[in-house]
Chains A and B, each alone.
Chain A
């Protein structure tokens, strides 16, 4: 019987199911929003970016995700990087790009 590599396997517990769901959700968001620059984020995400406390919470999300599960943490880190990068590009003056 073919099995997943150890770093990709999820336990059959409730925690394992939640980790798998988080990985799938993060993957969907990355494919849908992060990989396409022209795909706009929601107005709330755009408006919240200018607040430092929001960006701190976003980074703490990466930290907690990584502590919870390495797979989820890596995907959330990728997601957050694209979000911060896109927002930073949008507020940069055109002449400085």
Chain B
């Protein structure tokens, strides 16, 4: 009595997975893609110094050159992700040099004082770093009805 030969089914999910693996990019490209995704996802925590450099003339020229190079070497999909990452980094750069910006200006009539001690609650919430204050005294008057 002869037994029928066992045969394995071709196609289906196994074939699709094999096709997917065969068409995958090289590991170097995949690693670069993963790094790009992480860069985009956590773009909000990039330090301001790097953002300021990316927003400078040199940084922008470098950025455009990098995007162009990635498109030419790795393909336009990677170039698209690189462009998004670059734009998000530039977009978060501060437009005003707040280190030299001071809201209070004594103007000669008010005696300026240096900030000493703890910050006010509103300063901590808004992330403000005042360097000088106009006065530490408040004059109030009674409200008359």
Residues in A neighbouring B42, C-beta threshold 8 A:
52
Contact between A80 and B128, CB atoms less than 8 A apart: no
Residues in B neighbouring A94, C-beta threshold 8 A:
126-127
Contact between A74 and B127, CB atoms less than 8 A apart: no
Count A/B pairs, Cβ under 8 Å: 66
CB of B7, distance to nearest CB on chain A (Å)? 34
How many B residues are at the interface, by size bracket? 20 to 34
Contact between B37 and A88, CB atoms less than 8 A apart: no
How many A residues are at the interface, by size bracket? 20 to 34
Q: Which residue on A lies nearest to B44, using beta carbons? A: A88
Which applies to chain A's interface (DSSP): helix, strand, loop or mixed? helix
Which applies to chain B's interface (DSSP): helix, strand, loop or mixed? helix
The answer to whether B64 has its CB under 8 Å from any CB of chain A is: no
Residues in B neighbouring A52, C-beta threshold 8 A:
41-42
CB of B36, distance to nearest CB on chain A (Å)? 8
Besides A66-B76, A95-B126, 9 more A-B contacts (Cβ < 8 Å) are: A56-B37, A59-B41, A62-B81, A74-B80, A77-B83, A84-B43, A88-B91, A95-B129, A97-B96
